[in-house]
Amino acid sequence: MVFQRLPSPTTPAPEEAAATQTTAEDSEIKKVVWHADFADPRRFSAMLTSINNMVTTFQNDLVDYDVRIVFVSHGIRFLTDDKLVGTPFAEDAALAKRRTNLTDRLRSLQEVQEVKLELCDITRKAIGLPPEKLMPGVKSVLSGVVRITELQHQGFAYLKVE
């Protein structure tokens, strides 16, 4: 998401102007990749809360950002309403209870906060899940771990909720 600073209605004193000058570091896009490879809905909820807090802070500070979640392995559970029966990622009671809330929060991050969602296609193909069963807007990447590495080489900070 890109924000633009508007000029101040008053001209600051010279010492204030020096103190408020934007540095090159301040004006750079903040780039963060979150790694979601776990099955626990409570952990996923904590991650969504952290991401929401992060992007809200960036927005309040008028900071441009590019935040992505790369889903690998068990993380696929959070990108589909399919119960994934017969797979290692099958829905359990904990996920069934929280699925609607988690899906709504994830969609809000994606649609309102412009957080990008990327899924490891190796995982999807391994369980035979058709792409049309994924929530809209999920980008498939050949390998999730390779994608995370690529993003880190592009300057993305790596975060994972433990």
pLDDT tens-place values along the chain, 162 residues long:
554 444 444 444 444 444 444 444 545 899 999 999 999 999 999 999 999 999 999 999 999 999 999 999 999 999 999 999 999 999 999 999 999 999 999 999 999 999 999 999 999 999 999 999 999 999 999 999 999 999 999 999 999 999
Q: Is residue 146 part of a domain?
A: yes
Looking at residue 143, what is its pLDDT?
99
Looking at residue 32, what is its pLDDT?
99
Looking at residue 117, what is its pLDDT?
99
Looking at residue 17, what is its pLDDT?
46
Q: Is residue 19 part of a domain?
A: no
Q: Is the dihedral of CA 139, 123, 73, 131 positive or negative?
A: positive
Range of the domain at 55: 29-159
Output the domain CATH number for residue 37.
3.40.1260.10
Q: Is residue 12 part of a domain?
A: no
Half-sphere exposure of residue 48: CA atoms within 13 angstroms, side-chain side = 21
Which residue, among 98, 143, 99, 101, has the nearest Cα to 123 in the 3D structure?
Answer: 143
pTM for the predicted model, two decimal places: 0.84
Q: Is residue 83 part of a domain?
A: yes
3-state percent breakdown (helix, strand, coil) of the chain, nearest 5: 45, 15, 35
Q: Is residue 14 part of a domain?
A: no
Quote the CA–CA distance of 158 and 138 in Å, as a whole number. 19
Looking at residue 5, what is its pLDDT?
45
Which residue, among 89, 84, 83, 72, has the nearest Cα to 138 in the 3D structure?
Answer: 72
Angle (nearest 5°) at CA 62 between 56 and 66 = 65
Looking at residue 11, what is its pLDDT?
43
Looking at residue 1, what is its pLDDT?
55
**Looking at the 3D structure of the chain, how many domains does it have?**
1
